[in-house]
Amino acid sequence: MKTQLKLLPIPAFSDNYFWLLHDDHQALVVDPGDAAPVLDILQALRLTLQTILVTHHHADHVGGLQALVEATGAHVMGPATEALNHPMDRLSQGDSVTAMGIAFEVLDVPGHTAGHIAFFAPATSALLDTPVLFCGDTLFSGGCGRLFEGTPAQMLASLNRLAALPGPTRVCCAHEYTLGNLRFALAVEPGNPDLQAYEAHCQALRHQGMPTLPSTIGMERAINPFLRSRTATVHESVVQHAGCEPNDVAVFAALREWKNQFK
């Protein structure tokens, strides 16, 4: 009998998470920016690393690739168009890849970087009773990635694509930025009761030293201003703050800029 895959964040650097999915024998890791913490947990749990998934080219997501592949022989799959030296299967929107017995759908989510991809695993009763999303630095709980290489219109389209996934989907972000993001979200939307309750919940988790992640798509739709820029409250709040044109892309761009300046 097959058992449910286990999902856990490996904390690394100051605020990264490398996500690990395993079945007590084989494992998959996402965006390993450093090999050491991954090798430690593989050894502690007696796991064999089968697959490495990569969402984008930044060093805090790929810095451990070479050492991990040398140590484990794991198979690497990553974005089609990002500048990455390591050999890997090159994936883009519409591709489907199988790892750990799960068929992952590849989504193009440009904005943070030009070739950023995300991996979505639908629920399958035997292995995964709830869908999982590995979204790198595109969607954070309560926030989104900075626009280093993409336009606001691209990032808005990418986030809309993620927001359309099933509500129970577990959102596995690559950084623990939640509390800072929620402080900003409350400045944008102070009267949102779901946001107020979620902030209290996340504060309690952090006080206990626990990750706030994974979040869910349903929760992010309720509390994340970057998924809510078309709702009346967020739209009006941004137009009032920034004096921008009241169209979707201008409001999203002004919201991102407001966050960049927020102290």
Q: How many CA atoms lie within 13 A of 29 on its CB side?
A: 29
Nearer to Fe ion, 64 or 102 (CB): 64
Nearer to Fe ion, 60 or 189 (CB): 60
Nearer to Zn ion, 128 or 147 (CB): 147
Question: Among this protein's residues, is 23 annotated catalytic?
Answer: no
Residue 146 CB, nearest distance to Zn ion (Å)? 8
Three-state DSSP at 176 gives coil
Residue written as tokens 């490495």?
A: 52
Question: Among this protein's residues, is 60 annotated catalytic?
Answer: yes
- Kindly identify the residues of this chain, within the stretch 58-77, that bind Zn ion according to CB under 5 A: 58
Residue 53 CB, nearest distance to Zn ion (Å)? 15
Tell me the C-alpha distance between 46 and 31, whole Å.
Answer: 20
Question: Among this protein's residues, is 235 annotated catalytic?
Answer: no
Distances from the Cα of 19 to the Cα of 12, 16, 208, angstroms:
10, 10, 20
Determine if 82 is a binding residue for Zn ion (CB under 5 A).
Answer: no
According to CB under 5 A, which one of 108, 137, 176, 199 is a site residue for Fe ion? 137
Distances from the Cα of 256 to the Cα of 9, 23, 66, 83, 184, angstroms:
27, 39, 34, 26, 11
Determine if 60 is a binding residue for Fe ion (CB under 5 A).
Answer: yes
- Indicate which of Fe ion, Zn ion, none lies near residue 108 (CB less than 5 to 8 Å, by partner kind): none
**CA torsion sign, 232 to 238 to 241 to 244?**
negative
Determine if 31 is a binding residue for Fe ion (CB under 5 A).
Answer: no
Residue 226 CB, nearest distance to Zn ion (Å)? 16
Distances from the Cα of 115 to the Cα of 74, 92, 150, 154, 256, angstroms:
23, 9, 9, 11, 20
Determine if 57 is a binding residue for Zn ion (CB under 5 A).
Answer: no
- Indicate which of Fe ion, Zn ion, none lies near residue 220 (CB less than 5 to 8 Å, by partner kind): none
Determine which one of 60, 108, 116, 235 is catalytic.
60
Tell me the C-alpha distance between 184 and 21, whole Å.
Answer: 31
Three-state DSSP at 158 gives helix
Confirm if 54 and 78 have CB atoms less than 8 A apart: yes
Nearer to Zn ion, 137 or 199 (CB): 137
Nearer to Zn ion, 137 or 176 (CB): 137
- Kindly identify the residues of this chain, within the stretch 103-162, that bind Zn ion according to CB under 5 A: 137
Residues forming the site for Zn ion (CB under 5 A)? 58, 137
